[in-house]
Structure 1
Amino acid sequence: MKSNNNNNTKLILLHPYVQKQGSSNRLWLLAFVSFFTIAFLVTLIYTRESLPTKSTAALAAAATSSSISTTAPLPTTVINTLLHYASRSNDSFHMSYSEIKPISDVLRKCSSPCNFLVFGLTHETLLWKALNHNGRTVFIDENRYYAAYFEELHPEVDVFDVQYTTKMGEFRELIASTRDQIHNECKPVQNLLFSECKLGINDLPNHVYEVDWDVILIDGPRGDGPEGPGRMTPIFTSGVLARSKKGGNGKTHIFVHDYYRDVEKVYGDEFLCRENLVEANDMLAHFVVEKMDENSYQFCSNKTSKSASSSSSS
């Protein structure tokens, strides 16, 4: 019995130690579990937070890729397709392929963003807008109602109307008076916004005069009959805009449509100059006009100003 008591005593004496060691083990186990639980939660949170970062990076890359694709030039196949269908239209007033192609080639080589000014709303208007991909294309038309209607149909197209005061029947008188004013209101380098030259267009929005136009197409206004406004004013204005450029490319490509007609040919030779004629047929003339010094007083270098000779004789 004594031994039993001793054993019991030993057990009783040992019991607190065993209990303490068991508690310690449980504490270690709890600490171990807690550590891995916290580590798991931290890992999970980090992983979940890193996912949006990767998505953001992916979106940024996609946006960059998208911006690159939108600024890339039109593929050759697209350009050829546009030219093919535009030149085979049933509209009796559409341009032929041989007329559209030179303009398309220049637009294609034009450094982006290309500034393209077009006189006249025609069958090819949407084609010009499309071919000058990523560039600025502005249209000038004589009919304010049609200009407003067209812009309502196609809000992505910039159209401004202008009221022409010239008449086809006056084209010889107008060219003579312009020669007389070549040292003043009708000089080749000037800000047309403040010009009083009869052939200068001065009522367009201010920013039109501030742009350095790379390509200009003259396919309007009407040039049929003595009462029509004719294209004298757009040809003169284009010549001045090209010579008055402040920056950008020093050369401006100017296309004159319906070059077989007297006004287009006479005014083209007078204000765009034969020396600048790159290519021409009955339907289209292509001039390349360079900017000039502001003190220049003649449009063509191979011509002597008639106003100078007339003023000296007087």
Structure 2
Amino acid sequence: MRSTKTHQIFSLKLLLLGVLLAFIVLFLLRTNLSSADYSKQSSNDNTLSRKTLVANKESSAKEENDNNCPQTTACTKIPPSLAQTLIHYTTSTITPQQTLKEISVTAGVLEKRSPCNFLVFGLGHDSLMWAALNHGGRTVFLEEDEAWIEQIRRRFPTLDTHHVRYESKVNEAEGLMDVGKGPECTAVGDPRYSMCLLALKGLPSEVYETKWDLIMVDAPTGYYEEAPGRMTAIFTAGMMARNREEGSETDVFVHDVNRVVEDKFSKAFLCEGYMREQEGRLRHFRIPSHRDDTQRPFCPTLE
């Protein structure tokens, strides 16, 4: 009886021990599974957080780019200089002195050659337009009237303007035409070192040192006998064009060719053989470099 009871107690202990061991095993298994799930969830959460962070950064960068509009091919914001030009001509009652057809001649050349170096003899109501049409290039204006320069600078400080003095007057044109036929005036070279009386020597040094792709002669005044004439401006434009590096061509425009000086001097020193077209009072010449051929005549022979 005692041995049976002892055996029952021992069996009960084994059962309890087995249950305890099973409980411990289950507990350990559950703990490991929970840890694995937690690690996996944490990993997923971290991955999601990183993705969210990257997405947020990309979104912020995109928003910043949209707001700042950097200078890239994707940027569509209009440059401030062009915006100013649009506002000025939209609200102004003063129109440029050149007609639409005359302006279109130069604008067509600028469309092909800009951004480029554009030198303009004269500062007027069309200056802001020329600078805008040559956006990204360099446009320089030479003006004889200092008071007018200051007035324009206050209104449009971004325009590159310089004061220039003209020594010759309209009533001296006939004598200067004869001077221009001499060998010192047909030689190719830098105008500031030329012995020709028609060469302008008092311009800013940067004007001589820049290779101009386009030159517009629309100054000085030139409309009465005692006014500064355009003889030297036209001659110097032609000399700059001929003195450019080999293989270059310069487009030169002369306005007001209905007047005697502009008519005769543009034909004589820019050459009828180099003239491409005339629209109204505007003539367009395309002058090649003469430095690649020292035997090239000053003006080509007309066919």
Percent identical among aligned pairs is 32
Deviation, 1:3, is: 6.0
* Distance in 1, Cα, partners of 2:234 & 2:75: 37
Q: How does 1:153-192 map to 2 (within 5 A)?
A: 153-180=155-182, 182-183=183-184, 186-192=185-191
The yes-or-no answer on 1:39 pairing with 2:43 is yes
Deviation, 1:4, is: 5.5
Q: Secondary structure at the match of 2:43?
A: helix
The structure-2 alpha-carbon separation of the partners of 1:140 and 1:301, relative to structure 1 and needing over 3 Å to count, comes to same
Residue 286 of structure 1 aligns to which amino acid in structure 2?
A: H
User: Is the CA contact (8 Å cut-off) linking 2:176 and 2:198 kept in structure 1?
Assistant: yes
User: Is the CA contact (8 Å cut-off) linking 1:188 and 1:243 kept in structure 2?
Assistant: no
Residue 133 of structure 2 aligns to which amino acid in structure 1?
A: L
Structure 1: gaps of 5 or more residues: 75-81, 304-314
Residue 258 of structure 1 aligns to which amino acid in structure 2?
A: D
Q: How does 1:233-248 map to 2 (within 5 A)?
A: 233-246=232-245
| TM-score normalised by the chain length of structure 1 | 0.76
- Indicate the RMSD between aligned Cα atoms, in angstroms: 3.4
User: Is the CA contact (8 Å cut-off) linking 2:245 and 2:291 kept in structure 1?
Assistant: no
More displaced stretch, 151-160 vs 55-64: 55-64
The structure-2 alpha-carbon separation of the partners of 1:153 and 1:196, relative to structure 1 and needing over 3 Å to count, comes to farther
User: Is the CA contact (8 Å cut-off) linking 1:94 and 1:124 kept in structure 2?
Assistant: yes
Give the match for residue 13 of structure 1: 17
| TM-score normalised by the chain length of structure 2 | 0.78
Which one of the candidate residues 43, 66, 71 is aligned to 2:74? 66
* Distance in 1, Cα, partners of 2:228 & 2:146: 14
* Distance in 2, Cα, partners of 1:297 & 1:105: 29
Residue 102 of structure 1 aligns to which amino acid in structure 2?
A: V
User: Is the CA contact (8 Å cut-off) linking 1:192 and 1:201 kept in structure 2?
Assistant: yes
The yes-or-no answer on 1:95 pairing with 2:112 is no
* Distance in 2, Cα, partners of 1:112 & 1:93: 21
Deviation, 1:169, is: 2.0
* Distance in 1, Cα, partners of 2:76 & 2:249: 28
* Distance in 2, Cα, partners of 1:53 & 1:91: 48
The yes-or-no answer on 1:264 pairing with 2:262 is yes
The yes-or-no answer on 1:288 pairing with 2:286 is yes
Give the match for residue 309 of structure 1: none
Residue 39 of structure 1 aligns to which amino acid in structure 2?
A: S
* Distance in 1, Cα, partners of 2:19 & 2:192: 107
Deviation, 1:168, is: 1.7
Deviation, 1:244, is: 1.4
